[in-house]
């Protein structure tokens, strides 16, 4: 069996996306469109992997790094011109060249193997994949004679009126004999409205030379659908989310409304967990058994234990242990750890903080760069003043501390085991274990002040 080189076409801007970002870098349910193609070819045994870049190529290089070879198409002169840029790279290669589009994310390894096997077993110089679509708008059409023999491919923009009803389309997926490919590329002339060198013209050239061109029809049209517009991207994302949700539901996860829930591939959720509507769960997140998540929650790279309840809250790169209650309107920022049985409530924000087992921060609180022990009560309106203008400082609150409402804890500061602080205090010094700290001005009542003020106004 001949060796195979894969070329990924990713040089275009994608004008119909109406975006400055290269089309293949748009986010599709949690990762760039291009990464779906890479995931496929990484499970496909090939000799060479080359990506053809052009528009804002530095952004694609930044994403991929040195995991692949690059060919640069400096001028956007069409698909054939793009492939021609790999000629030098493949000068010593002998075998088949598989050409894929970077904006077709759902191709499977099984389908590519089927194409390659058909190509090699019939010894074709070129084999393309076609598909039958009810609505072929936007795709080049496969032109056949009355006997069904292929005559060529015409792009949508150049399609005459009498051919627009053709429903067999070109998917842009090809397998070529390498030598034949580059010989034919030199013969293409841009005879089209765009003035571009089309890869589809190769078929016509090869057929004119009496060479055999094969074709196979895709078994699953969803695999070959390309992403050309923002609408295409939204529909593709929906497809990915729905697949993931169905997978989870078959594993025993309850999802109240799949149409308003967005869970990225790679998320793991235990059985008997319930996901409420308008919840977003991003990759890297692990959720245990018997949890209640949402509605209106957003989890990003979160590690959630069993029996946790999260209501209308945001959790980023944080760990939440068993039987914790969170929300509504809680924000856990990165590097936060919430231990077993703790409670975090309304409008509370934690950043790089450890909240101990059974501790509570129920209302209107900010805790940053803090280590908080077991069974601590954080009063409403309490904040850690962790930033001094140059660096972040640590607050340590030991086991069993009671922090009064509306406290400002000016770090670095330590509250010893079992200590108390009075409401309204600004704590600037360490509080020894078992002490009560009160740090506020003494109240003064001024008799008759209101009446005097009223007389002054008159």
* DSSP states along 351-397: ES-EE-TT-EEEEEEEEESEEE-TT-EEPTT-EEE-B-SSSB--EEE
In the prediction, which pLDDT does 147 show?
Answer: 85
Mean pLDDT of the 51-63 span: 96
Q: What is the pLDDT of residue 44?
A: 86
Question: pLDDT category, 21, cuts 50, 70, 90?
Answer: very high
CB 158 within 8 A of CB 192: yes
If one counts every other C-beta atom within 10 angstroms of the C-beta of residue 57, the result is 19
Confidence of residue 201 (pLDDT cuts 50, 70, 90): confident
Task: With CA atoms as reference, report the closest residue to 167 among 120, 130, 196, 206.
Answer: 130
Q: Are 318 and 333 in contact (CB under 8 A)?
A: yes
Residue 339 has pLDDT above 90, yes or no: yes
pLDDT at 192: 65
- What proportion of the chain, given as a percentage, has pLDDT over 70? 99
In this prediction, residue 164 carries a pLDDT of: 86
Contacts of 256 (CB under 8 A, 6+ apart): 274, 275, 276, 277
What are the boundaries of each domain within the chain? Answer: 4-223, 335-458
pLDDT digits (tens, 9 = 90+) for 274-304: 999 999 999 999 999 999 999 999 999 999 9
Looking at residue 413, its pLDDT comes to 98
The pLDDT tens digits of the residues spanning 216-273 come to: 999 999 999 899 999 999 999 999 999 999 999 999 999 999 999 999 999 999 999 9
What CATH number does domain 4-223 carry, 3.20.20.70, 3.90.550.10, 3.40.718.10, 3.30.950.10?
3.90.550.10
- Residues assigned a catalytic role: 363
The secondary structure element, H or E, covering residue 121 is helix 109-121
Class at the top of the CATH hierarchy for domain 335-458: mainly beta
Number of alpha carbons in the 13 Å side-chain half-sphere of residue 207: 17
**Distance between CA atoms of 279 and 283, rounded to whole angstroms?**
13
Q: Which residues contact 104 (CB under 8 A, 6 or more apart)?
A: 37, 171, 172, 173, 224, 225, 226, 227
The residue-averaged pLDDT of 11-24 equals 94
pLDDT tens for 61-105 read 999 999 899 999 998 888 999 999 999 999 999 999 999 999 999
pLDDT tens-digit profile of 383-438? 999 999 999 999 999 999 999 999 999 999 999 999 999 999 999 999 999 999 99
The answer to whether residues 338 and 321 touch, using CB atoms and an 8 Å cutoff, is yes
CA 77 – CA 89 distance, rounded (Å): 19
Name the DSSP letter for residue 140.
P
User: Could you give the CA distance from residue 250 to residue 70 in angstroms, rounded to a whole number?
Assistant: 41
Task: Give the separation between CA 39 and CA 27, rounded to whole angstroms.
Answer: 15
- Highest averaged pLDDT of the listed ranges 148-152, 365-369, 440-444: 365-369
């Amino acid at each position: 069996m001949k060796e195979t080189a894969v070329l990924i076409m990713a040089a275009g801007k994608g004008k119909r996306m109406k975006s400055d970002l290269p089309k293949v870098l748009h986010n599709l349910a949690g990762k760039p469109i291009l990464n779906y193609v890479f995931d496929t070819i990484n499970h496909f045994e090939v000799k060479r992997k080359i990506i053809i870049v052009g528009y804002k190529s530095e952004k694609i290089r930044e994403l991929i790094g040195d995991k692949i070879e690059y060919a640069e198409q400096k001028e956007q002169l069409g698909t054939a011109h793009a492939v021609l840029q790999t000629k030098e790279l493949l000068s010593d290669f002998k075998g088949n060249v598989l050409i894929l589009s970077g904006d077709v994310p759902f191709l499977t390894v099984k389908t590519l193997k089927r194409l390659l096997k058909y190509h090699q077993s019939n010894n074709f110089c070129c084999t393309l994949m076609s598909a039958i679509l009810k609505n072929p708008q936007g795709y080049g059409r496969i032109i056949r004679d009355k006997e069904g023999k292929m005559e060529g491919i015409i792009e949508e923009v150049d399609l005459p009126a009498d051919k627009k009803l053709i429903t067999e389309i070109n998917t842009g997926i090809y397998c070529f004999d390498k030598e034949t490919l580059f010989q034919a590329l030199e013969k293409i002339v841009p005879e089209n409205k765009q003035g571009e060198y089309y890869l589809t013209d190769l078929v016509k050239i090869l057929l004119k030379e009496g060479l055999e061109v094969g074709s196979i029809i895709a078994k699953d049209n969803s695999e070959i659908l390309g992403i050309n517009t923002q609408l295409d991207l939204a529909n593709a994302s929906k497809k990915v989310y729905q697949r993931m949700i169905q997978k989870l539901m078959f594993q025993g996860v309850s999802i109240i409304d799949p149409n308003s829930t967005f869970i990225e591939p790679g998320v793991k959720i235990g059985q008997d967990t319930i996901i409420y509507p308008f919840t977003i769960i991003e990759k890297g997140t692990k959720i245990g058994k018997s949890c209640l998540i949402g509605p209106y929650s957003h989890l990003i790279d979160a590690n959630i234990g069993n029996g946790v309840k999260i209501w209308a809250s945001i959790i980023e790169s944080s760990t939440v242990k068993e039987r914790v209650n969170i929300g509504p309107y809680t924000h856990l920022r990165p590097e936060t750890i919430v231990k077993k049985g703790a409670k975090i409530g309304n409008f509370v924000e934690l950043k790089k903080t450890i909240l101990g087992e059974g501790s509570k921060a129920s209302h209107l609180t900010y805790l940053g760069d803090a280590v908080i022990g077991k069974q601590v009560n954080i009063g409403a309106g309490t904040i850690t003043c962790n930033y001094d203008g140059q660096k972040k400082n640590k607050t340590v609150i030991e086991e069993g501390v009671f922090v009064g409402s509306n406290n400002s804890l000016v770090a670095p500061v330590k509250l010893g085991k079992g200590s108390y602080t009075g409401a309204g205090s600004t704590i600037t010094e360490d509080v020894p274990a078992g002490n009560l700290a009160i740090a506020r001005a003494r109240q003064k009542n001024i008799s008759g002040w209101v009446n005097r003020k009223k007389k002054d106004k008159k």
